[in-house]
Amino acid sequence: MAPKPRVRFAPSPTGELHVGNARTALFNWMYARHHGGSFILRIEDTDESRSALSYQISLFDDLKWLGLDWDEGPNKEGAYGPYRQSERLDIYKSHLQKLIDADLVYPCYCTEEELEEERQNLILSKRMPRYMGKCRNLSPDERKQREKEGKKPSYRFKIYPQTIEFKDLIRGLMKFEADAIGDFIIVRSNGMPAYNFAVVIDDHLMNINHVIRGEDHLSNTALQIMLYRAFGFEPPTFAHHSLILGKDRAKLSKRHGSVSIGEFRKQGILPEALVNYLGLLGSSFTDAREVLSREEMIAGFTLKRASRSGAIFDEEKLLWLNAIYIRNCKTEDLVARLTPFLEQSGFKKEIINSEGFKRIIDLVKTDLTTLADIENHISLFFDDKYELTDEAKKILEKDTAQNVVRTFARYLAHNTEQQNLYAAAMKHTKEKTGAKGKELFMPIRAALTGKTHGPELDKVFIVLGTNSALKRLEFFIR
């Protein structure tokens, strides 16, 4: 029996979690959950100048928010830790020594300036820019001389002509020729391991058997396979999924709008909707439906169906899904999710937790696209937020409208105790004024709510209560 998959998500904490990376995490997570395997989180924080602890913290927070729980990783030590690369430096050191002993790497003393000059010359002579091996054949004395001058070397891996092949689960057979690749750095002059080196050691030692990541890593995979060979490790199975693109088919970036998980959270996108949407992108499900629960996504996930071409990010579709998830929330749950947004708009806890408030949420929830939308939709229920929009004012300027509202308001004022007061007042107004349809409803909606659209008016009336309604209409009674 094939061993259970062990997959990993290996972000570098150098920025906020991007939807593209979140999708990679989701694919790995779904793969692990579908096959009953393990999902490992590894923090690739060896680039000290760009990594920040705050990004790590928001990364954990975003993954938890998305519901992508890890089986091993920081704060969840397993048998293969530590799970932060910055805590594994001794391991990389001993592995470097192995390659030095096997004469598969060499110290390189070239400065940034020298490397840049070489690059420019190659470009000018229309050749592939790569390291041409200047330090590869230095004699022991030449090396000693450079050390004496105080030069700190980086370490480069020696490339020999060879064909590198691997079977990608999404892309099929992939082939690379090593002669187009220069000897590459595996340990920097500051002693820190380079990505390709650390990732191979970690994936091997952590027993990772499936590496699922974006297609932007395809050429890295060729380098990594050479390192697997050098160490005598067996490479994992690779699957390189397509990237998320903007509408212009360029890689999705900030200039396309919101791209970080944090931004979507602030907009009031539900994690369920975002996960559902990211799963659908470049569809990887056997199921053709679009609204899928977490369990259905796990059950239907297969890498075989993951598309090879880039998936276009469609914010409208995300909003459409979000509205569905909001509508399907139980009211109590929705109130809890809305609370931070409501508090930000100045609503007090006592109001948010009241029974009347639940009735308001029940009324408006089908109109919400995002949680942040809430204030616009509920302000009409609060006297201190009651205000006529320009559209509403325009409607109320007409004489016929004034007559309708006046008739309605007077009826209310004289029959406050009547059952089904709203329906009765409407009937009375219709008969008295002869107005019907929009001519009847619109002025009343405008006067009662200050707006020209909103939830059904009879329900609004009940939630508002007769007193509030009358207060708003007083002006017309006079």
Touching ligand GLU, residues 385-424 (CB under 6 A)? none
Interaction of residue 217 with ligand GLU, rule CB under 6 A: yes
Quick one: 252 exposed, middle or buried, by C-beta within 10 A (0-12, 13-18, 19+)?
buried
Tokens of 474: 């007083």
From the CB of 72, what's the least distance to ligand GLU, in Å? 16
The distance of closest approach from Cβ of residue 310 to ligand GLU in the complex, given in angstroms and rounded to an integer, is 17
246 CB-contact burial (10 Å; exposed 0-12 / middle 13-18 / buried 19+): middle
Structure tokens at 5: 């998959």
Q: Does position 237 bind ligand GLU by CB under 6 A?
A: no
Q: Which is nearer to ligand GLU, 213 or 451 (CB)?
A: 213
Site for ligand GLU in 25-54 (CB under 6 A): 44
Chain centre to alpha carbon of residue 434:
55
**Token pair belonging to 286:** 């056997």
Beta strand pairing call for 184-187 and 244-245: unpaired
- Looking at the Cβ atoms of 193 and 443, the one nearer to ligand GLU is 193
- Cis upstream peptide for 153 (omega within 30°): no
- Does position 12 interact with ligand GLU (CB under 6 A)? The reply is yes
In this complex, which beta carbon is closest to ligand GLU, that of residue 146 or of residue 171?
171
Provide DSSP, 128-162.
------TTTT--HHHHHHHHHTTPPPEEEEPP-S-
Q: How far is the CB of 40 from ligand GLU (least distance, A)?
A: 11
Q: Specify whether 254 is catalytic.
A: yes
Among 76, 254, 398, 471, the one annotated catalytic: 254
> CB-based contacts of 430: which residues, under 8 Å, 6+ apart?
436, 440
Mark the segment that binds ligand GLU (CB under 6 A) among 4-12, 173-181, 270-278, 394-402. Answer: 4-12
11 near ligand GLU, judged by CB under 6 A: yes
From the list 7-15, 243-251, 343-351, 443-451, the region that binds ligand GLU by CB under 6 A is 7-15
Taking residues 162 to 201 in sequence order and writing x for each that binds ligand GLU by CB under 6 A, - otherwise, the string is: -------------------------------------x--
Instruction: Report if residue 448 touches ligand GLU, rule: CB under 6 A.
Output: no
Neighbouring-strand partners of residue 108: 154
Who contacts 239 (Cβ-Cβ below 8 Å, separation ≥6)? 168, 169, 170, 210, 211, 212, 213, 303, 306
* Minimum gap (Å) between residue 6 Cβ and ligand GLU: 14
Number of residues lying near ligand GLU (CB under 6 A): 7
Residues within the interface to ligand GLU (CB under 6 A)? 10-12, 44, 199, 213, 217
**Residues assigned a catalytic role:** 254
